[in-house]
Each structure stands twice: as C-alpha cells, then as structure tokens.
C-alpha cells in the first residue's frame, strides 16, 4: 500500500482530461487500493485519479461514517441528470476552501467496479453531488471553476499566501 501525493490547485495537471481504463487488471486494483488509502488518510469522501496525477478514469468514494463502505467507479459516465440543488463543496485539492456549487439533484451513473463488473447506480443527496464533483475532476475541472473569476482570483491568492507561510 502507498500514500499518494494530492495535487493542489492551481496545479496545471488538475486540468488534464483522463483517458478510459483499457483493462481492469492488477495494476488498476493496486491504484484503487492506493487511492482509497490516500483518501482515508486525507479524510476525504472521494478522490479522482486526476488528483494524484494519474490520468485514467478511476474514482474512489466513501460516504460512510466508519469509512467501511468503499465505492469504486471505473470508466464512469453519468447517463441521466434531473433537478437542481446546491451544496457547500470542498476539495482535497483546494484545502480549507468551501463554496456553494449548483449541481443536478439526482443522477444515474454507469461504471465498472474493480473486478470489471458493470453496474448502474441511481444517486441523490451528497452521493450525487460527490459523483458529479469527481467526474468533473476526470474532465480536468475543479469546483472553484464554477465560481466568479473574482472569487477564483481570491482563492488563488489565499492558497499562495498559505503556501508561503507554510515554508
């Protein structure tokens, strides 16, 4: 098992578009394990491979209280969206920043698990929000890009200041 480094906004590599996984094999299962370990250690509820600088369509998620309900999405696609909702989102790649984002309220997602088995999931609530947030990462999009350019500039300045002070 290995802990992976999480890219921090505004790292350019967060804008890379992920490629589909060609074969769900041991390499992908090891990636999933390392991503899950990294997500749990960082106390996140989801992690997209993009965030650890692997540009393949792999997402892990766990919304359970006891961190014992890992969900794996390989080559996920959202096939249906309905309704509108807002949520104050955060991101492991934009630490300490929480902003309201508009999303579809209910979605249907199709994906493969780490054994290569296809599944379809209807989601609402935080699960639907998190799936949309993670699929955005795979498309190279970070949630702050939904905000005004003024807010994005302020967030970048804040993160820069914090990085300076951390030295």
Positions marked catalytic: 134
**From the CB of 50, what's the least distance to Ni ion, in Å?**
9
Of these, 14, 18, 47, 135, which contacts ligand GNR (CB under 6 A)? 47
Smallest separation, CB 139 to ligand GNR (Å): 12
Of 36, 91, 101, 127, the one binding Ni ion by CB under 5 A:
91
Question: What's the min distance (Å) between Cβ of 61 and ligand GNR?
Answer: 8
Told to check if 44 binds ligand GNR by CB under 6 A, we report yes
Given the rule CB under 6 A, which of 28-36, 44-52, 73-81, 107-115 is the region that contacts ligand GNR? 44-52
Of the candidates 35, 137, 144, 159, which one interacts with ligand GNR according to CB under 6 A? Answer: 137
90 contributes a contact to ligand GNR by CB under 6 A: yes
CB 97 within 8 A of CB 158: yes
Q: Is 62 in the site for ligand GNR (CB under 6 A)?
A: no
Distance separating alpha carbons of residues 138 and 134, to the nearest angstrom = 7
Chain residues in the site for ligand GNR (CB under 6 A)? 44-48, 51, 87, 89-93, 129-130, 133-134, 137
């Amino acid at each position: 098992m290995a802990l992976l480094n999480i890219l921090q906004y505004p790292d350019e590599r967060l804008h890379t578009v992920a490629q589909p996984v060609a074969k769900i094999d041991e390499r992908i299962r090891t990636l999933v394990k390392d991503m899950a370990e990294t997500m749990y250690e960082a106390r996140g509820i989801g992690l997209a491979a993009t965030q650890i600088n692997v540009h393949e369509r792999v997402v892990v998620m766990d919304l359970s209280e006891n961190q014992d309900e890992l969900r794996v999405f390989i080559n996920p696609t959202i096939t249906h969206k309905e309704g509108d909702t807002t949520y104050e989102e955060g991101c492991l790649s934009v630490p300490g920043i929480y902003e309201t984002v508009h999303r579809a309220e209910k979605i249907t997602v199709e994906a493969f698990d780490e054994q290569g088995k296809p599944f379809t999931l209807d989601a609402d609530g935080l699960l639907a929000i998190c799936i949309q947030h993670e699929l955005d990462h795979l498309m190279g999009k970070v949630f702050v890009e939904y905000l005004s350019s003024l807010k994005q500039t302020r967030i970048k300045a804040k993160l820069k200041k914090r990085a300076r002070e951390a030295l």
